[in-house]
């Protein structure tokens, strides 16, 4: 992850890729979503500085960038934990115990739905349908789907992630 | 298994590779189209196939294409809706992950038919593997001359770009999807004008679902007659069904349309987890549920519409005897309330209220009159917003109240006093 989160730093880091994205559309505004995604991949979250940098790169009003960033739930406007746990609680997962599992996760991590643990390791969100209803309940850990979750599987998963976080060599790979 | 069309390669881990796709007749449909059909003739063939959209609304695909003007003087766009988000639905993900070239070939055929030289494939952001597989397939298709300039020497040019969604169910609605590609919030627009006339960048645009487009290579390789021989006359062709919830064998199955819901739940879904179903949702949560005594309804576009529901996204959700219908209704309503884009008051406010009432009923704090209040809200939401999100929410909640009113009433304490004031906020 890059550290220079000034407007100039973000612009330098993203310029080439944002330009490449903009070339796919007849209007620069269309590249706002791809640009936000690129910024998030690079920096972990998006904020006011990011919006300004993207607005300048695409020559669009900054409010357009903020409108998009604040509408779509996959854009992190706060720094998420190292592992973002997104547990689907929609109907098919709910029917197989997801709501109880969300409560269990809240208890286990001592964090509210939507919150991040004090050590910055885990963010927890109950989310809408992830489109893997045949493997319910389903959980996303960052970009990966973990399917057919059971309480035992969950416990093992959390323990494994905590272990992974303690290994110094894993530090770089997580980004 | 040999009869499978859309899922014929589902067991082959190498199916996503173009060379493997070609060995199963891949890109033959495209060759047939580019060699022997003018764009108009492609539209006519799809019209005569009676192919209906697989995204939810079931609109006739050829008819949709025919609304694209021929003399607009503007560029035309084809958009593939891969923003699959209807709870209980996961068929498009399987199609993209397991057989992406089938979709790419379909996109090329559709773009040719409507005269589009640019296509956008809008994939929901969570579908990482789908995105990677489609990116790979697009790159292979360029390398093989199926995309780019002068495709297979036909003079037809096409570029496909992937646009990633970012977690908004509403972007599955076609006008919201187009707004999203334009770089805006995904808020639906009032129709007309329809996208076919003024869509992406105010240009003629067609939005088609993944499964709809995936049917096209087969339709042209095997012919309209073959296609119309499968399933009901007014909406034939191969069809995917997703089974989830309280079923023993959840998964995606390709099956003929027109089988009774109850039979499908047994044969494909493997029956109820607890041994007996109480109800089932036939086509994603926007589709009104059927109690078990309605399980003889046939699973096709018209039969379900006649029975007051819809085939929708064909996401079949089984609810066995252990399911609490008020809880199910609460969760579905919370979903719609959360995903309402906030543009239209009846949907934004009405669903917030409905979810609130459902939550208090579920925890035993309901009051006499709450069920009537919910019914009133359903009537205030249905048909009163720009898009179908509120309609689906009100429609499905209405069915739960209609068929299982006793379950809601049983949760309302007998001694509770009617609500004197609106305790909604």
Q: Which B positions 318-347 lie with beta carbon below 8 A of chain A?
A: 319, 323, 327-328, 331-332, 335, 338-339
For chain A, how are helix, strand and coil distributed in percent, rounded to 5? 55, 10, 35
For residue B246, list chain A residues with Cβ-Cβ distance below 8 A.
95
Using CA atoms, how far residue A169 sits from A43, A119, A164, A165, A174, in Å, is 20, 19, 9, 9, 10
Q: Which of A99, A162, A79 is nearest to B331 (CA)?
A: A99
Whether residue A33 and residue B183 make contact (CB cut-off 8 A), yes or no, is: yes
Q: Which residue has the tokens 């704090």?
A: B365
Backbone region of residue B152 per phi and psi (left: phi > 0; alpha: psi in -120 to 50; beta: other values): left
Count CA atoms within 13 Å of residue A42 on its CB side.
22
| Strand order, beta sheet including B251-254 | B251-254, B240-245, B315-320, B277-281, B290-291
Which residue of A lies nearest to B315 if distances are taken between CA atoms? A133
The per-residue pLDDT for B240 is 98
Separation of first and last alpha carbons in chain A: 6
DSSP B17: S
The per-residue pLDDT for A175 is 42
Which residues on neighbouring strands pair with residue A83, listed in sequence order?
Answer: A122
> Is B312 at the interface with chain A, CB within 8 A?
no
- The CA distance from A132 to the nearest CA of chain B, in Å, is 6
Which residue of B lies nearest to A33 if distances are taken between CA atoms? B183
Query: β-strands B205-209, B76-82: how paired?
Result: parallel
Q: Which A positions 99-158 lie with beta carbon below 8 A of chain B?
A: 99, 127-136, 140, 143-144
- The CA distance from B307 to the nearest CA of chain A, in Å, is 23
Contact between B390 and B384 (Cβ < 8 Å): yes
If you count DSSP H runs as helices and E runs as strands, how many of each does chain B have, helices first? Answer: 16, 9
- pLDDT-flagged residues of chain B (< 50): 1, 425
Mean pLDDT, residues A116-135: 96
If you count DSSP H runs as helices and E runs as strands, how many of each does chain A have, helices first? Answer: 8, 4
pLDDT tens figures, B22-79: 999 999 999 999 999 999 999 999 999 999 999 999 999 999 999 999 988 999 999 9
The length of chain A in residues reads 175
Whether residue B168 and residue A130 make contact (CB cut-off 8 A), yes or no, is: no
- The CA distance from B278 to the nearest CA of chain A, in Å, is 13
- The CA distance from B355 to the nearest CA of chain A, in Å, is 14
- The CA distance from A100 to the nearest CA of chain B, in Å, is 13
Return the ∠ at Cα B135 (arms to B130 and B137), rounded to 5°. Answer: 95
For residue A143, list chain B residues with Cβ-Cβ distance below 8 A.
128
Contact between B334 and B383 (Cβ < 8 Å): no
How far is B399 from B397, CA to CA, in rounded Å? 5
Query: β-strands B76-82, B116-123: how paired?
Result: parallel
For residue A26, list chain B residues with Cβ-Cβ distance below 8 A.
75, 201
Whether residue A34 and residue B338 make contact (CB cut-off 8 A), yes or no, is: no
Ordered alpha helix ranges (H), B99-127: 100-114
Angle between helix axes B210-222 and B100-114 (nearest 10 degrees) is 80
Separation of first and last alpha carbons in chain B: 55
Residue B324 has a CB neighbour count (10 Å cut-off) of 15
> Is B122 at the interface with chain A, CB within 8 A?
no
Whether residue A92 and residue B168 make contact (CB cut-off 8 A), yes or no, is: no
Which residues on neighbouring strands pair with residue B149, listed in sequence order?
Answer: none
Contact between A27 and B183 (Cβ < 8 Å): yes
DSSP A48-108: HHHHHHHHHHHT--HHHHHHHHHH-TTS-SSPPPSEEEEEE-SHHHHTTTHHHHHHHHHHH
Whether residue B89 and residue A129 make contact (CB cut-off 8 A), yes or no, is: yes
How far is B153 from B149, CA to CA, in rounded Å? 9
Whether residue A94 and residue B164 make contact (CB cut-off 8 A), yes or no, is: no
The per-residue pLDDT for A68 is 98
For chain B, how are helix, strand and coil distributed in percent, rounded to 5? 45, 15, 40
The per-residue pLDDT for B421 is 53
Q: Tell me the pTM.
A: 0.95
Q: Which residue has the tokens 């085939």?
A: B311
When the pLDDT of each residue in chain B is averaged and rounded to a whole number, the result is 95
| Strand order, beta sheet including A139-141 | A122-127, A83-88, A139-141, A144-146
Question: Cβ contacts of residue B73 below 8 Å, gap of 6+?
Answer: none
- The CA distance from B324 to the nearest CA of chain A, in Å, is 10
Question: Cβ contacts of residue B298 below 8 Å, gap of 6+?
Answer: B257, B258, B259, B260, B261, B304
Of B126, B184, B244, the CB nearest to A133: B244
Contact between B371 and B401 (Cβ < 8 Å): yes
Contact between B170 and B386 (Cβ < 8 Å): no
Residue A94 has a CB neighbour count (10 Å cut-off) of 26
For residue A28, list chain B residues with Cβ-Cβ distance below 8 A.
183
Phi then psi for residue A92, to 5 deg, are: -70, -35
Query: β-strands B277-281, B315-320: how paired?
Result: antiparallel
How far is A93 from A154, CA to CA, in rounded Å? 15
The per-residue pLDDT for A174 is 47
For residue A130, list chain B residues with Cβ-Cβ distance below 8 A.
126
Question: Cβ contacts of residue B315 below 8 Å, gap of 6+?
Answer: A133, B86, B87, B88, B89, B90, B91, B242, B244, B281, B283, B284, B285
Using CA atoms, how far residue B70 sits from B66, B111, B151, B158, B204, in Å, is 9, 14, 21, 18, 9
For residue A72, list chain B residues with Cβ-Cβ distance below 8 A.
125, 165-168, 186
The per-residue pLDDT for B2 is 53
Which pair of tokens denotes residue B406? 């006793």
Whether residue A134 and residue B167 make contact (CB cut-off 8 A), yes or no, is: no
How far is B101 from B103, CA to CA, in rounded Å? 5
The per-residue pLDDT for B418 is 66
Which pair of tokens denotes residue A44? 């972990």
For residue B183, list chain A residues with Cβ-Cβ distance below 8 A.
25, 27-33, 60, 64, 68
The per-residue pLDDT for B423 is 52
Which residue of B lies nearest to A36 if distances are taken between CA atoms? B166
Q: Which of A39, A29, A30, A131 is nearest to A76 (CA)?
A: A39
The per-residue pLDDT for B415 is 74
DSSP B340-356: --S-SHHHHHHHHHHHH
């Amino acid at each position: 992850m890059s550290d220079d989160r000034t407007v100039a730093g973000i612009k330098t880091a993203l310029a080439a890729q944002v330009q490449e994205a903009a070339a796919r559309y007849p209007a620069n505004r269309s590249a706002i979503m791809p640009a936000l995604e690129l910024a998030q991949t690079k920096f972990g979250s998006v904020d006011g500085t990011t919006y300004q940098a993207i607005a300048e790169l695409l020559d669009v009003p900054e409010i357009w960038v903020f409108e998009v960033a604040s509408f779509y739930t996959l854009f992190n406007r706060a720094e998420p934990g190292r592992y973002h746990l997104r547990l689907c609680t929609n109907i098919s997962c709910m029917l197989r115990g997801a709501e109880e599992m969300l409560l269990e996760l809240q208890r286990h991590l001592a964090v509210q739905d939507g919150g991040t643990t004090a050590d910055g390791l885990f963010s927890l969100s109950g989310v809408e349908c992830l489109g893997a209803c045949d493997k319910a309940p389903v959980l996303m850990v960052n970009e990966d789907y973990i399917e057919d979750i059971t309480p035992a599987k969950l416990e093992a998963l959390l323990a494994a992630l905590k272990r992974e976080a303690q290994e110094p060599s894993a530090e770089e790979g997580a980004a | 298994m040999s009869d499978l069309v859309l899922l014929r390669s589902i067991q082959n881990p190498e199916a996503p590779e173009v060379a493997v796709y070609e060995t199963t007749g891949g890109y033959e449909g495209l060759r047939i189209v580019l060699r022997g059909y003018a764009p108009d003739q492609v539209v006519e063939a799809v019209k005569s196939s009676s192919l209906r959209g697989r995204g939810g609304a079931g609109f006739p695909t050829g008819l949709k294409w025919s609304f694209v003007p021929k003399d607009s003087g503007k560029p035309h766009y084809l958009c593939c809706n891969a923003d699959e988000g209807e709870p209980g639905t996961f068929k498009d993900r399987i199609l993209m992950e397991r057989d992406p070239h089938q979709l790419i070939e379909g996109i090329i055929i559709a773009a040719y038919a409507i005269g589009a030289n640019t296509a956008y494939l809008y994939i929901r952001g969570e579908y990482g593997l789908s995105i990677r597989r489609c990116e790979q397939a697009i790159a292979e298709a360029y390398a093989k001359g199926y995309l780019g300039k002068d495709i297979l020497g036909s003079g037809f040019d096409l570029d496909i770009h992937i646009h990633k969604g970012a977690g908004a169910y509403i972007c599955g609605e076609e006008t919201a999807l187009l707004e999203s590609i334009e770089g805006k919030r995904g808020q639906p627009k009032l129709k007309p004008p329809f996208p076919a006339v003024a869509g992406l960048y105010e240009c003629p645009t067609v939005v088609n679902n993944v499964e709809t487009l995936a049917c096209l290579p087969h339709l042209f390789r095997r012919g309209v007659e073959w296609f119309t021989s499968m399933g009901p006359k007014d909406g034939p062709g191969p069809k995917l069904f997703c089974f989830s919830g309280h079923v023993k064998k959840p998964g995606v199955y390709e099956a003929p349309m027109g089988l009774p819901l109850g039979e499908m739940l047994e044969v494909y879904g493997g029956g109820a987890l607890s041994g007996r179903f109480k109800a089932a949702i036939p086509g994603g949560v926007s589709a009104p549920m059927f109690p078990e005594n309605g399980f003889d309804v046939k699973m096709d576009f018209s039969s379900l519409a006649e029975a007051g529901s819809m085939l929708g996204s064909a996401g079949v959700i089984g609810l066995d005897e252990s399911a609490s219908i008020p809880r199910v209704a609460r969760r579905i309503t919370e979903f719609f309330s959360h995903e309402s884009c906030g543009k239209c008051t009846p949907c934004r406010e009405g669903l917030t209220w409905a979810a609130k009432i459902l939550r208090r009923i579920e925890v035993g704090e309901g009051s006499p009159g709450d069920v009537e209040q919910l019914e009133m809200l359903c009537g205030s939401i249905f048909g009163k917003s720009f898009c179908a999100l509120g309609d689906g929410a009100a429609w499905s909640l209405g069915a739960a109240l209609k068929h299982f009113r006793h379950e809601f009433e049983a949760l309302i304490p007998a001694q509770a006093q009617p609500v004197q004031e609106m305790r909604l906020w």
